[in-house]
Amino acid sequence: MTPDDLAAAVSTLVSTLADEGAFRLDSAPDVRVERPKSREHGDYATNVALALAKQTGMPPRELAGMLAQRLATVEGIASAEVAGPGFINVRLDSATQGGLARTVVEAGPLWGHGTSLAGRVVNVEFISANPTGPIHLGHTRWAAVGDAIARVLAAAGATVAREFYINDRGVQMDRFGASVMAVAHGRPVPEDGYHGAYVVDLAAAVLAEQPGIVDLPEDEQLAAFREVAYAVQLGQQQQVLALFGTRFDVWYSERSLHESGAVERGLDRLREQGHVFEQDGALWLRTTDFGDDKDRVLIKADGDYTYFATDTAYYVDKRARGFDLAIYLLGADHHGYVNRLRAVAACAGDDMDDNIEVLIGQLVKITKAGEEVKLSKRAGNIVTLEDLVDEVGVDAARYTLTRYPVDSPLTLDVAEMIRATNDNPVFYVQYAHARIASVLRNAAELGIDWQAADFDPALLDHERENNLLGMLAEFPRVVASAAELREPHRVARYLEDLATAYHRFYDACWVLPRGDEELAGIHVARMWLCAAARQTFANGLDLLGVSAPERM
């Protein structure tokens, strides 16, 4: 029995009692079943009686008593008692609780997956770094978290596409090309260009790719440098992200948006909806109709499209491609975009609370020996994704970046992170998985086929077995809330708690027969429990894009 099953049981019980006339019920309550912090309060507790007290006009304890009496007779429930101001503390019988191990093992890789977001077609856009330099640590947070969000949404039943928007148009690209070209000729990089050391490598790569490039006429050469360097740089970004385990379904080029006529189509769409107007020779979008601070220019007085026009067209295009929810994951420096992007959705005739979502990630601050390292691509002071992975590995990097909510700024000390590698929580969690794998390997070596043996779940009645089962039962709820709130860090935190529960179980409950001991029911039952835990670790780590090692 999972907490959701229990909540459903309580819920039907409430309506049954109301139908019988025990009390008046205006609206069905949102029944919440929780794991109490203290085990003395049972396996589960619910505060329905407290929540319903006002509505029914009954004292909470009296209401709770009525519910508890009936609840105790439900199959699988060992006891139900009223406690405190009106909580109902429920204990499950151990067979019901232990049976969860079988449920988990049989569900396999799908254990924890749900249907709360079934039917939603979601576009998750993240990173979208300019193709003018390497992926750095600022992007890396989203590389890890954005990917995890996509995974979690999919686990909740949504159809998800990961998208990377390539800003391959505009002044920055020209400056980029000019910088690479200058370096290739051994000339100083222009003041407004890119000064990073990586430009030198890029120049070399461009020359290797197209040796004759320096002999082209100046203006042609500039364009050629821009294009070749762009291709090389984008290729590197793609390679590094693949190495990091973040794969995109769509690499969407800004140029293609213009070339395909999507910009005009976007404008048409906005015109149809009637929020476009002309003023001072420019074309504007009245975003203030929907909560933006000021109206925005789409086409400047000189006839050029603004960047905002492109953003707008891009959103309209996403919707036209069939996505009913566009999620944007942006850095804190793009904070001002939130209201205007939402307004864009509304101006396009969409529901800005349902079709668009803009998540802002606070920047990652890096310190080295206690001193802040400033990140600036132009100045060339970069900690890249590649550097990070080289130093701490993909798993530690991904895990460290996904275990914190993105709306709080994160400070990572590079030295600390490297030094603390062995103490990193990721190893604590992975170790639990490897430990289980080892136990089950040993079982196989002993010739034990636990899956074929009789499994009596009622034998799992040790306090730490009970606790571990309780933790396992939480997994589907954790996944669902991580998806609903777009907060994959909840999965990481959960896995850490689960690891504690497992290690404590392992410490107190010997799994395999020792020495010449006969194989008994308790051994089999514990192997089922181990297998269920292993599956949960594997599924949880997978949601974070972190590997679940068989050995460590």
Partner RNA sequence: GUCCUCGUAGCUCAGUCGGAUAGAGCGACCGCCUCCUAAGCGGUAGGCCGUGGGUUCGAUUCCCGCCGAGGACACCA
Complex with RNA: residue 189 or 285, whichever CB lies closer: 285
**Sole binder of RNA in the list 19, 408, 454, 518 (CB under 7 A):** 408
CA distance 204 to 377: 19
Binders of RNA in range 141-200 (CB under 7 A): 167, 170-172
Phi, psi of 322 (to 5 degrees): 105, 5
CA dihedral 185, 378, 128, 237 (to 10 degrees): 50
Complex with RNA: residue 204 or 439, whichever CB lies closer: 439
CA distance 28 to 56: 11
Please report which helix (H) or strand (E) contains residue 317, including its range.
helix 307-320
Output the smallest distance, CB 212 to RNA, in A: 29
Size of the site for RNA (CB under 7 A): 84
Output the smallest distance, CB 283 to RNA, in A: 9
Cα separations in angstroms, 201 against 207, 233, 331, 417: 10, 10, 27, 28
Of 45-53, 110-118, 256-264, 378-386, the segment contacting RNA by CB under 7 A is 45-53
Complex with RNA: residue 110 or 444, whichever CB lies closer: 444
The greatest distance separating any two alpha carbons of the chain, rounded to the nearest whole angstrom, comes to 92
Instruction: Give Cβ neighbours of residue 362 (< 8 Å, ≥ 6 apart).
Output: 332, 406, 407, 408, 409, 410
Cα separations in angstroms, 189 against 192, 196, 226: 8, 10, 14
Complex with RNA: residue 206 or 330, whichever CB lies closer: 330
Output the smallest distance, CB 100 to RNA, in A: 20
CA nearest to 86, candidates 34, 39, 48: 48
Complex with RNA: residue 247 or 368, whichever CB lies closer: 368
Output the smallest distance, CB 496 to RNA, in A: 5
Instruction: Decide: is 410 part of the binding site for RNA (CB under 7 A).
Output: yes
Asked whether the beta carbons of 42 and 88 are under 8 A apart, the reply is: no
Binding track over 289-318 against RNA, x by CB under 7 A = ----xx-xx--xxx-x-xxx--x-------
CA angle 244, 245, 249 (to 5 degrees): 120
Complex with RNA: residue 20 or 514, whichever CB lies closer: 514
Of 92-100, 133-141, 241-249, 419-427, the segment contacting RNA by CB under 7 A is 419-427
**Sole binder of RNA in the list 420, 453, 519, 538 (CB under 7 A):** 420
Phi, psi of 33 (to 5 degrees): -110, 125
Complex with RNA: residue 242 or 444, whichever CB lies closer: 444
Binding track over 491-520 against RNA, x by CB under 7 A = --x--x--xx--xx-xx-xxxx-xx-----
Binders of RNA in range 421-480 (CB under 7 A): 422-423, 425, 427-428, 431, 434-435, 437-439, 442
Complex with RNA: residue 15 or 438, whichever CB lies closer: 438
DSSP tag of 43:
S
Instruction: Decide: is 377 part of the binding site for RNA (CB under 7 A).
Output: no
Output the smallest distance, CB 527 to RNA, in A: 9
Output the smallest distance, CB 247 to RNA, in A: 25
Complex with RNA: residue 249 or 550, whichever CB lies closer: 550
CA distance 34 to 40: 14
Binders of RNA in range 335-354 (CB under 7 A): 335-336
Please report which helix (H) or strand (E) contains residue 398, including its range.
helix 394-402
Of 114-122, 145-153, 191-199, 327-335, the segment contacting RNA by CB under 7 A is 327-335
Neighbours of 12 (CB within 10 A): 11
Of 77-85, 223-231, 322-330, 535-543, the segment contacting RNA by CB under 7 A is 77-85
Of 316-324, 341-349, 357-365, 537-545, the segment contacting RNA by CB under 7 A is 357-365
Assign 3-state DSSP to the chain and report helix, strand, coil percentages, each to 5: 55, 15, 30
- Chain position carrying tokens 């050995």: 551
Output the smallest distance, CB 404 to RNA, in A: 4
Binders of RNA in range 87-106 (CB under 7 A): 87, 89
Burial of 217 (0-12, 13-18, 19+ CB in 10 A): exposed
Binders of RNA in range 260-289 (CB under 7 A): 279-282
Complex with RNA: residue 208 or 422, whichever CB lies closer: 422
Q: SS3 of 260, please?
A: coil
Output the smallest distance, CB 235 to RNA, in A: 21
Complex with RNA: residue 259 or 307, whichever CB lies closer: 307
CA distance 447 to 86: 51
Instruction: Give Cβ neighbours of residue 387 (< 8 Å, ≥ 6 apart).
Output: none
Complex with RNA: residue 136 or 435, whichever CB lies closer: 435
Taking CB atoms within 8 Å and a gap of at least 24, the contacts of 336-339 are 337/311, 339/287, 339/291, 339/292, 339/293
Complex with RNA: residue 213 or 337, whichever CB lies closer: 337
**Sole binder of RNA in the list 57, 59, 85, 235 (CB under 7 A):** 85
Sheet holding 33-34, edge to edge: 33-34, 44-46, 87-92, 77-83
Binders of RNA in range 519-548 (CB under 7 A): none
**Sole binder of RNA in the list 32, 185, 255, 271 (CB under 7 A):** 32
